[in-house]
Structure 1
């Protein structure tokens, strides 16, 4: 795998106030580093569209980070706004990634049908919304890990055939 950069954005009102420890963000950084990604950034912000978008735009448009994963804010609570923050920034959605995560999660819990995370590209970066719980975030990223290098190659303009 090429040396791709990644960043993890945790969205949590309680986490941003110090009322809850962020366990999903560090776990995601660990698994991505173990898979050969260079972890370039991690941040924790409240569940506010403007805060989420500010970080995503800085990481993608300014720093050109290859893979940005968010964790948190993908459920049905009124404060869960990560998909609403992400969608307007995407140039192209990649629904198969979100569908694969939900399908795999549904084999473990019927609550997976409530997951609203998105995946898509902006410029030459890939953005993936993951659930906020450590376990669910890791289960979901595991589904996508085998496809991520090829997806990033394609987003960056590779013309190689899509063969597993």
Structure 2
């Protein structure tokens, strides 16, 4: 059986990057992390969009419903500033929220910076897509993905998405013994 190619959506939420005034560092940081960790076939679907709730919602819906991304990761727009609305957009398009992702990412980030408590990352499920909000700081993206990704492949299994596999030297993925046959 040929492995299904997983589509992964990468969304940078930034007014300045979307206008070309600022180099998008978050999107490439997310892509580089997945390039290093995933060993199963996957395809990136990337977007750079402004901090606008309606636009973020439309992009998340497009990546989930039209593009068929099993995983969508966002960077940016998770702080307390007025234009930071990525968590609100994520909550608006998801049927189920997964608060443990945000809790763990903040806990991990607190090891590096006390302002991690200002971050409002969240995660949720829309249909067969898991959406995870990552911080905007590129170095924090890897820290947070290292913390939460061990649970991501099994979550995607549970929502009937393609089977994701990681290089065990880079990230140890957890699947219960009864679910490990899906390789």
**Structure 1 and Structure 2 fold alike (TM over 0.5):** yes
Match of 2:136 in 1: 132
Partner in structure 1 of residue 70 of structure 2: 66
1:111 aligns with 2:115: yes
1:147 Cα offset (Å): 1.5
- Residue 72 (structure 1) shift: 0.1
Q: Is 1:30 paired with 2:32?
A: yes
Q: Which residue of 2 aligns with 1:102?
A: 106
Deviation at 1:10, TM superposition (A): 0.2
Structure ID, larger Rg: 2
Distance 2:101 2:5 in 1: 22
Counterpart check, 1:162 vs 2:149: no
Residue 60 of structure 1 contacts residue 66 of structure 1 at CA under 8 Å; is this kept in 2?
yes
Give the TM-score, by structure 2 length.
Answer: 0.82
Given that 2:5 and 2:43 are in contact with CA atoms closer than 8 Å, whether structure 1 keeps it comes out as no
Unaligned ranges ≥5, structure 2: 163-174
1:85 aligns with 2:67: no
TM-score calculated relative to the size of structure 1: 0.91
Query: Equivalent residue of 2:64, what SS?
Result: helix
Instruction: Report the count of equivalent residues.
Output: 162
User: Would the aligned equivalents of 1:32 and 1:39 in 2 still touch at CA under 8 Å?
Assistant: no
Secondary structure at the counterpart of residue 108 of structure 1: coil
Asked whether the equivalents of residues 16 and 22 of structure 2 are also in contact (C-alpha less than 8 Å), the reply is: yes
User: In the alignment, which residue of structure 2 is the partner of 1:123?
Assistant: 127
Q: CA deviation at 1:7?
A: 1.2
Instruction: After TM superposition, give the deviation of residue 32 of structure 1 in Å.
Output: 1.2
Matches of 1:5 and 1:17, distance apart in 2: 26
Contact 1:47 1:82 (C-alpha < 8 Å) held by counterparts: yes
Cα deviation for residue 39 of structure 1 reads 3.0
In structure 2, C-alpha distance between the alignment counterparts of 1:47 and 1:80, rounded to whole Å = 7
Give the SS at the match of 1:21: coil
Q: Residue 77 and residue 157 in structure 1: after superposition, are their counterparts in 2 closer, same or farther (change >3 A)?
A: closer
Match of 2:6 in 1: 4
Following superposition, the deviation at residue 104 of structure 1 comes to: 0.6
Return 5+ residue gaps in structure 1 as ranges: none
Distance 2:94 2:20 in 1: 30
